[in-house]
Protein backbone atom coordinates (compact mmCIF):
# COMPACT_ATOMS: atom_id res chain seq x y z
CA UNK A 1 0.00 0.00 0.00
CA UNK A 2 2.72 2.47 -0.85
CA UNK A 3 2.38 6.03 -1.99
CA UNK A 4 1.54 6.59 -5.60
CA UNK A 5 2.95 9.32 -7.69
CA UNK A 6 1.24 11.75 -10.03
CA UNK A 7 -0.43 10.10 -12.97
CA UNK A 8 -0.53 6.63 -11.42
CA UNK A 9 -3.87 4.94 -11.01
CA UNK A 10 -5.09 1.88 -9.19
CA UNK A 11 -8.33 -0.03 -9.35
CA UNK A 12 -11.05 0.54 -6.78
CA UNK A 13 -10.87 -1.81 -3.82
CA UNK A 14 -12.86 -5.05 -4.15
CA UNK A 15 -16.56 -4.46 -3.55
CA UNK A 16 -16.23 -0.69 -3.33
CA UNK A 17 -15.47 2.54 -5.06
CA UNK A 18 -12.36 4.63 -4.88
CA UNK A 19 -12.74 7.28 -2.17
CA UNK A 20 -10.24 9.59 -3.86
CA UNK A 21 -11.76 11.34 -6.84
CA UNK A 22 -10.29 13.47 -9.55
CA UNK A 23 -9.70 16.89 -8.04
CA UNK A 24 -12.31 19.52 -8.69
CA UNK A 25 -11.11 22.91 -9.88
CA UNK A 26 -9.65 24.82 -6.96
CA UNK A 27 -11.32 27.94 -5.70
CA UNK A 28 -10.00 30.34 -3.15
CA UNK A 29 -10.79 29.39 0.43
CA UNK A 30 -13.39 31.67 1.97
CA UNK A 31 -13.97 32.83 5.52
CA UNK A 32 -15.34 29.92 7.53
CA UNK A 33 -14.20 27.17 5.14
CA UNK A 34 -12.35 24.19 6.52
CA UNK A 35 -9.07 24.85 4.73
CA UNK A 36 -7.46 21.52 5.63
CA UNK A 37 -7.58 18.72 8.16
CA UNK A 38 -4.89 16.51 9.61
CA UNK A 39 -5.47 12.98 10.88
CA UNK A 40 -3.01 12.47 13.73
CA UNK A 41 -2.02 8.86 14.30
CA UNK A 42 0.65 7.01 16.29
CA UNK A 43 1.76 5.02 13.20
CA UNK A 44 1.47 6.83 9.87
CA UNK A 45 2.73 3.84 7.83
CA UNK A 46 -0.01 1.65 9.30
CA UNK A 47 -2.62 4.39 8.72
CA UNK A 48 -1.47 4.79 5.10
CA UNK A 49 -1.78 1.04 4.58
CA UNK A 50 -5.32 1.02 6.00
CA UNK A 51 -6.58 4.11 4.19
CA UNK A 52 -4.84 3.03 0.98
CA UNK A 53 -6.67 -0.31 1.18
CA UNK A 54 -10.04 1.40 1.55
CA UNK A 55 -9.44 3.66 -1.41
CA UNK A 56 -7.37 6.74 -0.62
CA UNK A 57 -4.24 7.60 -2.57
CA UNK A 58 -1.29 9.56 -1.25
CA UNK A 59 0.95 12.21 -2.76
CA UNK A 60 4.51 11.27 -3.57
CA UNK A 61 5.79 12.88 -0.34
CA UNK A 62 3.65 10.35 1.49
CA UNK A 63 1.41 12.32 3.85
CA UNK A 64 -1.11 14.26 1.75
CA UNK A 65 -4.27 12.42 0.70
CA UNK A 66 -4.88 12.92 -3.02
CA UNK A 67 -8.12 14.04 -4.63
CA UNK A 68 -10.04 15.10 -1.53
CA UNK A 69 -11.47 18.44 -0.48
CA UNK A 70 -10.67 19.98 1.88
CA UNK A 71 -6.98 19.13 1.70
CA UNK A 72 -6.20 16.35 4.16
CA UNK A 73 -3.20 14.39 5.34
CA UNK A 74 -1.71 12.09 7.96
CA UNK A 75 0.68 13.10 10.74
CA UNK A 76 2.48 10.23 12.45
CA UNK A 77 3.89 9.93 15.94
CA UNK A 78 0.87 11.63 17.52
CA UNK A 79 -2.09 10.52 19.64
CA UNK A 80 -5.27 9.76 17.69
CA UNK A 81 -6.99 13.03 16.81
CA UNK A 82 -8.31 15.11 13.92
CA UNK A 83 -7.13 18.70 13.60
CA UNK A 84 -9.26 21.12 11.61
CA UNK A 85 -7.96 24.37 10.16
CA UNK A 86 -10.52 27.08 9.40
CA UNK A 87 -9.89 29.95 6.98
CA UNK A 88 -10.69 33.43 8.35
CA UNK A 89 -10.63 36.86 6.73
CA UNK A 90 -9.13 38.64 9.75
CA UNK A 91 -6.95 36.37 11.86
CA UNK A 92 -6.31 38.86 14.65
CA UNK A 93 -10.04 39.59 15.09
CA UNK A 94 -10.85 35.86 15.04
CA UNK A 95 -8.22 35.17 17.72
CA UNK A 96 -9.71 37.93 19.87
CA UNK A 97 -13.17 36.32 19.52
CA UNK A 98 -11.78 32.91 20.51
CA UNK A 99 -10.31 34.41 23.69
CA UNK A 100 -13.44 36.49 24.45
CA UNK A 101 -15.59 33.35 24.40
CA UNK A 102 -13.44 31.25 26.74
CA UNK A 103 -11.12 29.60 24.24
CA UNK A 104 -7.36 29.73 23.94
CA UNK A 105 -5.50 31.26 21.01
CA UNK A 106 -1.77 31.10 20.42
CA UNK A 107 0.37 33.67 18.67
CA UNK A 108 0.17 33.57 14.87
CA UNK A 109 3.07 32.01 12.99
CA UNK A 110 4.04 33.02 9.46
CA UNK A 111 3.84 29.96 7.22
CA UNK A 112 4.42 29.70 3.45
CA UNK A 113 0.64 29.48 2.95
CA UNK A 114 -0.44 32.26 5.36
CA UNK A 115 -0.57 33.20 9.05
CA UNK A 116 -1.53 30.24 11.23
CA UNK A 117 -2.53 30.12 14.90
CA UNK A 118 -3.21 27.15 17.16
CA UNK A 119 -6.41 27.51 19.20
CA UNK A 120 -8.60 25.49 21.53
CA UNK A 121 -12.31 25.87 22.12
CA UNK A 122 -13.86 26.33 25.57
CA UNK A 123 -13.87 22.53 26.03
CA UNK A 124 -10.21 22.04 25.07
CA UNK A 125 -10.58 20.74 21.49
CA UNK A 126 -7.66 22.00 19.43
CA UNK A 127 -8.13 23.64 16.02
CA UNK A 128 -6.24 26.04 13.78
CA UNK A 129 -7.12 29.38 12.23
CA UNK A 130 -5.49 30.46 8.96
CA UNK A 131 -5.59 34.05 7.79
Q: Where are the domains positioned within the chain? A: 30-81, 88-131
Preceding amide of 70 cis, omega within 30 = yes
Q: Across the strands, what pairs with 130? A: 87, 116
Judge: domain 88-131, CATH 3.40.630.10: no
pLDDT of residue 33: 87
Q: pLDDT tens digits for the chain (131 residues)?
A: 333 343 333 444 444 444 444 445 556 778 888 888 888 889 988 888 888 877 788 887 778 888 888 888 888 888 888 888 989 999 999 999 999 999 999 999 999 989 999 999 887 888 899 99
If you count them, how many residues does the chain have? 131
Task: Please state the pTM of the whole predicted model.
Answer: 0.62
Burial class of residue 60, CB neighbours in 10 A (0-12, 13-18, 19+): exposed
pLDDT of residue 24: 53
pLDDT of residue 94: 94
Amino acid sequence: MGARGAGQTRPAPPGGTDLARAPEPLRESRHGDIDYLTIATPDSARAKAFYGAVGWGFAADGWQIEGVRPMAGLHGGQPHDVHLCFRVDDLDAALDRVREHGGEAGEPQDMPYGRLATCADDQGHRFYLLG
